[in-house]
Amino acid sequence: MLAPAMDLDMYQHPAVRANLAQVASIGNIVLDAETGELASGLSGQGRMMEPEHILDRVIDFFNSKKEFLGKKVLITLGPTQEALDPVRFLSNHSSGKMGFALAQAFQAAGAEVVVVAGPVALKLEGHGFQVQRVTTATEMYAAAKALHGQMDILVFAAAVADFRPENPASQKIKKQGESLPLQLVPNVDIAFELGKMKREGQIHVGFALETEQEEAHAKAKLVRKNFDLVVLNSATEEGVGFKHDTNQVRIFHKNVEDIQTALLPKLDIARLIVEEVKKAAAWS
Ligand code: PMT
């Protein structure tokens, strides 16, 4: 384990980021610097992690039972982008943070993780899991479908655009007239299609992002998309869902008791989801 400490600009310097990524890519765990007052008088990320936080992480590491050793997990994350023309697209606010936290949590539990990521700013590479970057829902489906057969667990954390422009323009659309009618066509529902191919013993975890009748919609998705559990997060509550570093979820199972979490950092939510997957899995 490595816990670096340095000044703000130095910590964000591309050379330092690349070196830390290299250290992580060969199997080390990098404990990120904390944010606060720095020796220079500046304030920002660069403080060495507090010794008690380092101790917590070391204890967590040795206590984690690696119960997913030998298991392969595919995680879709981030948004998709659907082109209107060469310079514009339809998309949504997903940052990929929830999916990234899940990748870290499953990996810490011993799983081999593959991530199929829509366009996100996060640095996903260099954390020891495989990353496939895609842009559109069609590309995300092709990548996930090709991997589906080898996986034990699939987690659909991506916010896939449900529609795409029917005929994206080959040149930049010029401003003409008062309105621009757009004809949209439905995208493939990745979770639904792969749900039809789910084999005995495979676990599918869905997410539901809702603005109203949240429980009813989440439970309907659990059944329709053949999920074993669905993680409901609200699109309207403070600190929950898109972009935040925190989340608060309800988890509805097919076969096990449902749970509700507090508002927690996404990594803690991810660890709880890993626990729930363990309960749902026949092999656990
Ligand atoms: O990325 P963050 O900023 O950290 O935010 C996290 C999140 C809010 C994006 C994430 O927690 C989340 O809720 N992801 C799913 C959002 C969503 O698209 O929900 P949905 O209710 O529309 O879709 C239901 C399920 O079907 C999801 O598992 C989704 O991945 C899947 N789906 C949906 C449409 C589609 N065409 N293909 C799919 O696979």
The pLDDT, as a whole number, for residue 49 is 84
The pLDDT, as a whole number, for residue 24 is 67
HEC sequence for 70-116:
CCEEEEEECECCEEEECCEEECCCCCCHHHHHHHHHHHHCCCEEEEE
What's the pLDDT tens digit per position in 137-178? 999 999 999 999 999 999 999 999 999 999 999 999 998 888
The pLDDT, as a whole number, for residue 284 is 63
| C-alpha of residue 121 to centroid of ligand 1, in Å | 18
Which residue has its alpha carbon closest to ligand 1 atom 20? 208
How far is residue 62 CA from its own chain's centroid?
Answer: 25
| Integer Cα distance of 279 and 153 in angstroms | 13
87-102 core/surface letters (b: 16 or more CB in 10 A; e: else): eebbbbebbbbbbbbb
63, 92, 226, 255: the active-site residue: 92
Beta strand pairing status for 153-156 and 72-77? parallel
The pLDDT, as a whole number, for residue 41 is 87
The pLDDT, as a whole number, for residue 27 is 59
Beta bridge partners of 113: 73
Which are the contacts of 80, defined by CB distance < 8 A and separation ≥ 6? Answer: 91, 118, 119, 134, 135, 136, 137, 139, 140, 158, 159, 160, 161, 187
Domain limits of the chain? 8-61, 67-280
Q: Which residues of the chain have pLDDT under 50?
A: none
Mention the CATH class of domain 67-280.
Answer: alpha beta
Q: Which of 94, 97, 190, 244 best tests ligand 1's pocket when mutated (most atoms within 8 Å of CB)?
A: 94
- Determine the straight-line distance between the first and last CA of the chain, rounded to whole angstroms: 29
The pLDDT, as a whole number, for residue 161 is 98
**13, 33 Cβ separation under 8 angstroms:** no
**148, 125 Cβ separation under 8 angstroms:** no
| C-alpha of residue 250 to centroid of ligand 1, in Å | 14
Please confirm, yes or no, whether 92 is among the known catalytic residues.
yes
